[in-house]
């Protein structure tokens, strides 16, 4: 769902002096969240917009939302004041945090032409996945704030309803996906996401529609799996593609994805990235969210 910001809300937010945030360990401090909520709740139509956002993420048939903050980005620039507003919206959903202790709360995802093309900062197809798939407690939400789209017009976001894809599989395939036979990636110096989960089941729960669908298509090429388990994961990958939606993120768009329901990825960027100056290339900022009171939170 794309959620526009009412004009009276936009006008009030442009001049809203939210303070710099403070962290409690890896998490946005409770005092900062309370201050942001107090300030934002007094702004006309903010509560209405926040309720629409939460419903899009957790209501029936939902799982993701795009806040259209482009006019705010144009008016304010994409600096600290704009990031505080985006963090304020995020805090209406869950607790913002960074699992990476050596990175700021908002993590840059730029474009590196010499990077593995399938990585988030690469130029190729970034296949369906949940973030931190090999953690016992993946972030409940992953969010991406578009600072600059690809100036050449590539890189649309792709999303797919994970549980709907699983429901279209055979029972035999679902049994294989529920076995702890999958592994991918490394796990080092991460905060707020539990322990390393290796090996892990793709289906976290035997109950239909529950738990994470703990999947990354990259493990099909980069992990040693038995033929039966690889075939089951390939069937799921095909169903995810079959059910995908695709759209371009524009400047200021803020994509929030409920990782319990939806997997995300990105189509390849447009060819010719090597001739685009680094300062003009696509740039997203990533922020993770933990459900209030969930395991690992500081509040």
Name the one residue in this structure whose structure tokens are 């599989």: 169
Q: Which of 283, 288, 289 is nearest to 121 (CA)?
A: 283
The percent of residues in the chain predicted with pLDDT above 90, rounded, is 88
Q: What is the DSSP-derived secondary structure letter of residue 211?
A: S
Q: What is the DSSP string of 83-129?
A: HHHHHHHHHTTSEEE-S-TTS-SSEEE---TTS-TTSTTSSS-EEEE
| SS3 per residue for 10-62 | HHHHHCCCCCCCCEECCEECHHHHHHHHHHHHCCCCHHHHHHHHHHHHHCCCC
Name the one residue in this structure whose structure tokens are 């999303």: 159
Measured distance CA(142)–CA(261) in Å, rounded: 12
Q: For 12-54, what is each residue's pLDDT tens digit?
A: 999 999 999 999 999 999 999 999 999 999 999 999 999 999 9
pLDDT, position 210: 75
Q: For 197-214, what is each residue's pLDDT tens digit?
A: 999 999 987 677 778 999
- The confidence band for 103, taking pLDDT boundaries of 50, 70 and 90, is confident
Q: What is the DSSP-derived secondary structure letter of residue 159?
A: E
Start-to-end Cα distance in the chain: 29
CA distances from 223 to 183, 218, 219, 280, 282 (A): 7, 8, 5, 35, 29
What is the b/e burial string over 76-115, where b = at least 16 CB atoms within 10 angstroms of the residue's CB?
Answer: bebeebbbbbbbbbbbbbbbbbbbbeeeebbbebbbebee
Q: For 142-197, what is each residue's pLDDT tens digit?
A: 999 999 999 999 999 999 999 999 999 999 999 999 999 999 988 988 999 999 99
Name the one residue in this structure whose structure tokens are 């048939």: 61
Mean of per-residue pLDDT scores for the chain: 94
Q: What architecture does CATH give domain 2-290?
A: 4-Layer Sandwich (3.60)
């Amino acid at each position: 769902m794309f959620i526009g910001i009412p004009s009276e809300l936009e006008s009030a937010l442009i001049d809203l002096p939210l303070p710099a945030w403070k962290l409690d360990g890896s998490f946005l401090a409770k005092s900062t969240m309370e201050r942001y909520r107090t300030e934002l709740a007094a702004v006309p139509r903010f509560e209405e917009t926040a309720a629409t956002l939460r419903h899009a993420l957790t209501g029936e048939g939902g799982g993701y939302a795009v806040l259209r903050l482009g006019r705010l980005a144009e008016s304010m620039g994409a600096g600290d004041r704009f990031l505080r507003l985006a963090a304020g919206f995020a805090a209406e959903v869950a607790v913002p945090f960074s699992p990476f202790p050596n990175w700021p709360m908002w993590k840059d995802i730029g474009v590196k032409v010499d990077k593995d093309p399938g990585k988030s900062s690469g130029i190729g197809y970034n296949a369906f996945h949940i973030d931190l798939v090999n953690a016992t407690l993946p972030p409940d939400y992953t969010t991406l704030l578009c600072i600059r789209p690809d100036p050449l017009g590539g890189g649309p976001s792709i999303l797919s309803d994970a549980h709907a894809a699983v429901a279209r599989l055979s029972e035999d395939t679902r049994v294989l996906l529920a076995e702890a036979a999958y592994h991918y990636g490394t796990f080092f110096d991460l905060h707020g996401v539990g322990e390393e989960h290796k090996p892990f089941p793709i289906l976290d729960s035997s109950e239909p529609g529950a738990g994470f669908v703990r999947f990354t298509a990259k493990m099909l090429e980069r992990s040693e799996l038995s033929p039966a388990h690889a075939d089951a994961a390939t069937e799921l990958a095909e169903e995810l593609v079959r059910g995908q939606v695709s759209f371009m993120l524009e400047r200021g768009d803020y994509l929030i994805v409920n990782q319990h329901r939806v997997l995300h990825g990105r189509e390849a960027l447009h060819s010719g990235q090597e001739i685009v100056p680094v300062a003009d290339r696509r740039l997203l900022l990533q922020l993770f969210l933990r459900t209030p009171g969930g395991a690992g939170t500081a509040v």
